[in-house]
Structures are given as C-alpha cells and as structure tokens.
Amino acid sequence: MIKKQTQAVAYTRVSTRRQGAQGIGLDGQRAAIDHCARHTGIEIVDWFSDAASGRGKDNLVRRHGVKAALDLAASRGIPIIVSGLSRLSRDVGTLEGIMRDGIKIISATEGSLDPVTFGSIAARAQAEGELISRRTKEGIAASKRRGVKFGNPNLPDAQKKGAARNKERSLEKVQEIAAVLENRPDWKSMSVAEAEGFLNREGVRTNRNQEWTVPALRKPLKMARQLLRSREEEMHQQHPYFGRF
C-alpha cells in the first residue's frame, strides 16, 4: 500500500514532440496519477511534463520539465509522483541518483518505491528502453533490406498517423483500466457488467469520453486483466523464495 502523503509533484513524459502535441499517452498518465492521488490522499501541487527520451545518462539534462519537477520536490521535501517509473527515466544510474538526493518516488502503478523493489523495477525500465530502441533499429534495417521505402505513398500520411494514434490511445486506456482495477481484490473474478459499473462510478471514460458499455469494455478489460496477471507473475518471480518449493 502507498502511505498517505500530504503533497506531491506530478510528472508525465512521452518520447516525442509529436506525441506531446497530440496528447498521445499523456491523458492515460494523468488519469493514472489522478486516480492514485485521489485514493491515497495526495494533493498534487504542480504538474510538469516533457516530450523527450528517458534513455541515456544525460537524459535529465535534455528535459527541462523533469528538472523543474525534481527541484520543486527537493525544495519542499515532498515526493514526485509518476504513472510508472519508466516515465521518470529509463536509466538506472539516473533513477538511483534521484533517490540518493532524498527525493521519494511514487509510481501510480508500482506503488511507493523502497530500496528493495526499486532496483529490479529500475533495471526493467532501462532494459525495456534498450529493447524498444534495438527492435526499432532492427525493424527499420530489415525493412530496408526488403526494399521497403518509408513514407509509402499508397498509404496516406494522415491515415498512418491516425492508426498509430488510435493504437497508442487504446493501450494507454488499457493501462488506465488496469491501474484502477488493481485496487479491487476481486479484479480477477469481476464480470464485465460489474467492471463496467465500477469504472463508470470511478469516472473512467472511454477514449471518446463516453461511459462504458458491456460490449465496448470486453476487449480492453481482457487486456487489462492480462496486464495485471503479467505484473503479478513478475512480482512473484522477484520474490527471494520463488522456485524453491
């Protein structure tokens, strides 16, 4: 459980300026932070945001938003709250430096991070960033070897942007649903109708800002449960006695 705090500084991050301009990913992050703050008695004193990569040892230098957020948190002696640790940084050394400076980190999806859990989560954030970068480069190289020309005129640019944005927003909505459901001990057994009522009461809306219906919720609810089960399994595997019985 996250211990109640009086105040905290909120921070969100997307990787590109285009995502920031379009709001891709930011809405889901804000919703997860808002939900966490509302249910743990945290007052958000200010919001900061960046549209830049969180990878590399110099990633803080490139981001004015995170520097301002950390300065405010340090000056007031209050935590910084993010939707997930990877939003703050994907570099282990950077994250360790923040904690050494005495700034407490609260993750809406991972809880209040203590030294026991911090190391593995920080390492995973860095590994995920490196994997994303490597797969992107490998995918581009493989496509070029096959003769694929990027910016295919057969697919209008607006259509490609729209499809990518819709996919990103759908994934963010799944993460938002998972963040809300994980506070329910019966999230595994809830029916779609029960989940629909719960999400609507909590103020979680669809990407079109509509209340959920059972048909609309079936697929994102299934994906949210899969995400929660994956996290649960990962936490079990990180337990020091995992596999000894």
Residue-level pLDDT at 228: 86
Which of 102, 101, 107 has its CA nearest to residue 82? 107
Q: What percent of the chain has a predicted confidence (pLDDT) above 90?
A: 20
Residue 193 has pLDDT above 60, yes or no: yes
Mean confidence (pLDDT) of the chain: 76
pLDDT in tens, 4-39: 457 999 999 887 655 444 444 788 889 889 988 988
pLDDT in tens, 117-133: 554 554 554 545 455 45
Identify any residues that bridge with 112 across adjacent strands, giving them in sequence order: 106
Residue-level pLDDT at 112: 60
pLDDT in tens, 90-102: 787 888 888 888 8
CATH class of 7-117: alpha beta
Alpha-carbon torsion (17, 137, 130, 233), positive or negative = positive
Residue-level pLDDT at 15: 76
Region 150-156: what's the mean pLDDT?
A: 55
Name the residue with higher pLDDT: 148 or 67. 67
Instruction: Report residue 65's pLDDT band, with 50, 70 and 90 as the boundaries.
Output: very high
Residue-level pLDDT at 61: 79
Region 157-181: what's the mean pLDDT?
A: 78
Residue-level pLDDT at 145: 65
Residue-level pLDDT at 109: 78
